[in-house]
Amino acid sequence: MAKQSTIVIAIGGNAITKENQKGTLEEKLANIESSADSIIDIIAMGYRVVLTHGNGPQIGNILLRMEAAAHIVPPMPLDVCGAESQGQLGYLIQRTLTNKIRQRGLDKEVVTILTQVLVDSNDPAFKDPTKPIGPFYSEEQANKLKLEKNAVFVEDSGRGYRRVVPSPKPIGIIENHVIKDLVEQGKIVITAGGGGIPVITDGKGELRGIEAVIDKDWASSVLAQEIKSDLLVIITGVEKVAINFGRPNMELLSQLTVFEAKKYYDEGHFPPGSMGPKIAAAIDYVEKTGGKALITSLEMVGAALKGEAGTFIVPDANGIFEEVI
């Protein structure tokens, strides 16, 4: 992949508010600061970067604040909460990247786009909430909140119980042409925060917000397709994807064809609460574009772009993956 190629990089909301943190401004800024250098390194390598991010912990906290103050201030629907998290996190990421770009002497500008993402109002996800948001609770706490808030809670990958909300599949990015224009102008674009603000079209063809949270990896896949990105990078907490994770026969993978990725997915190697959506979103991008997707940790993404780390998802006809740049 040549320099000046466009890369969509999807970072999880847990990289901004980590487990067991309260979500203070100081914590968020410290986490963004520690993450930013890896992004700046990629920019310095000459790539055009489009950055997306999750908002699970943050939107959960926004909902908690609204619920606590509902007797004083009218609560807002979930799509408006998503927009609030986009502005909040986009500002913090944009400010941090701008400062670090100036420190490195790079001639780049950073911009945040408030992004609406189209979904189908008849998506079955609206009848089956599955998207975890907010903090982790004990089973006792979750059962109490379930009764108090009329919310749905599920156990999340052995880490505790989290509230779940509808997570419809994204159909399209409303602002995709604006984003593509900015990228072609050389801007670093922060977009589709938290998977984007979910909207539907009504009977008049007008946009209307809807109560949901879109998976940021799926939204990033659709975005990468629509702006014709050269590579989709999905950031996770590990350097490489593994099968038999956590077992004595665990195997780290440097490359997966679409066929192999689907096979391991169907066999249950990638749980729905962790690696599953990342693999599914990567498969979708590769199948529809014929390009490659990369899954790795933020610390190793620079090495991965040199073919020295990470897990690449490649088309079935590609054969053995040899080099990235």
Confidence of residue 259 (pLDDT cuts 50, 70, 90): very high
Catalytic residue of the set 90, 278, 292, 302: 278
Final residue of a structural domain among 110, 139, 165: 165
Q: CB of 71 within 8 A of CB of 7?
A: no
Task: Report the DSSP beta bridge partners of residue 255.
Answer: 312
Question: If DSSP codes are grouped into helix, strand and coil, which group holds residue 133?
Answer: strand
Question: What is the model's pLDDT at position 134?
Answer: 72
Closest CA relative to residue 210, chosen from 126, 152, 130: 126
Structural tokens at position 293: 């997707």
Question: What is the model's pLDDT at position 146?
Answer: 83
CATH code of 178's domain: 3.40.1160.10
Query: Is 249 annotated as catalytic?
Result: no
Task: Report the DSSP beta bridge partners of residue 200.
Answer: 208
Bridge-based pairing of strands 110-112 and 48-53 is unpaired
Question: What is the model's pLDDT at position 319?
Answer: 46
Query: Is 263 annotated as catalytic?
Result: no
Question: What is the model's pLDDT at position 284?
Answer: 96
325 inside domain? no
- Do 285 and 212 have their domain in common? yes
Query: Is 13 annotated as catalytic?
Result: yes
Domain with 148, as residue range(s), is 129-165
1 inside domain? no
- Do 156 and 12 have their domain in common? no
Catalytic residue of the set 187, 216, 240, 292: 216
Query: Is 204 annotated as catalytic?
Result: no
Query: Can you point out the beta strands (E) in 104-159?
Result: 110-112, 116-119, 131-137, 152-155
Query: Is 55 annotated as catalytic?
Result: no
d(CA 136, CA 161): 5
Q: How far apart are the first and last CA of the chain?
A: 4
- Do 219 and 313 have their domain in common? yes
Catalytic residue of the set 55, 56, 131, 180: 131
- Do 93 and 196 have their domain in common? yes
Strands lying side by side in the sheet with 197-201: 170-173, 116-119, 197-201, 207-209
Question: What is the model's pLDDT at position 79?
Answer: 93
Query: For the chain, how many structural domains are there in total?
Result: 2
18 inside domain? yes
- Do 88 and 178 have their domain in common? yes
Mean pLDDT throughout 122-143? 86
Work out the burial of residue 59: count CB atoms within 10 Å of its CB; fewer than 13 is exposed, 13-18 middle, 19 or more buried: buried
